[in-house]
Amino acid sequence: MIGNFPYFAVILLIGCGIYILMFQKNLIKLAIGINLIENGINLFLITLGYRKGAIAPIYTQAPSGQAMVLPTPQALTLTSIVIGVATSALILSMAMMIYKHYGTIEVNEVRRLRG
């Protein structure tokens, strides 16, 4: 019934993010787009690690005799979440500094460097 539906959720989130990055014209919106791609890829990794009818990979007071989901993607996702918040923080502080110097956060006007 569920089929490959989670993967489609992943690519829809990535698609939303890339759409924002390609067509929307506000610096903070761009940060939101990157955040969405990030979330999509996190979901992708966790989905890869899921195993039907398995439990979380923690031995403390676990029900016995059941398979566990794959733990590696969870470790990778933890890394990628922290990297994601770091990226957002840096991008947003740069957007604030751009506003300080330029007085705008519209993409059309933030282009003194060209040619």
Partner 1 sequence: MLGLLETGSGFWSAIIWILLVLVIGGMVIYLRNKGEDSYKKNTEQDKPFISGNPEESKESSHLSASHIYWGFTEALKGYYDPLVKMHTGHINDYSGWIIVLTVIILIVIGVSG
Partner 2 sequence: MREMSKIIRNVTNLVYGFIIIFGFYIIVHGHLTPGGGFQGGAVVASAFAAMLISYGQLNTKKFLNINIFSLLESCGLTMFIGVAFLGLGTTFFYNFLANSGSWFGNIVIPGINAGDMNTAGVLPLMNIAVGLEVFSGLGIIVLLMADGAEYTKKKEKAENDR
Partner 3 sequence: MNSFVELIHITILIITIFAGLLAVIFKKLLPAVIAASAVSLLLSLEFYLLHAPDVAIAEAAIGAGLTMAIFIFAIRGTK
Which residues of this chain interact with partner 2, rule CB under 8 A?
A: 56, 58-62, 64, 78, 81-82, 85, 89, 92-93, 96-97, 99-100
Q: Which amino acid is at 46?
A: I
Q: Which does 64 bind (CB under 5 to 8 A by kind): partner 1, partner 3, partner 2, none?
A: partner 2
- Provide φ and ψ at 24, rounded to 5°: -100, 150
Give the CA radius of gyration of the chain: 19
52, 25 contact by CB (below 8 A):
no
Instruction: Give the bridge partners for 78, in sequence order.
Output: none
Stretch that binds partner 1, among 1-9, 39-47, 77-85, 106-114 (CB under 8 A): 106-114
| Contact set with partner 1 (CB under 8 A) | 18, 21-25, 27, 30, 107-108, 110-115
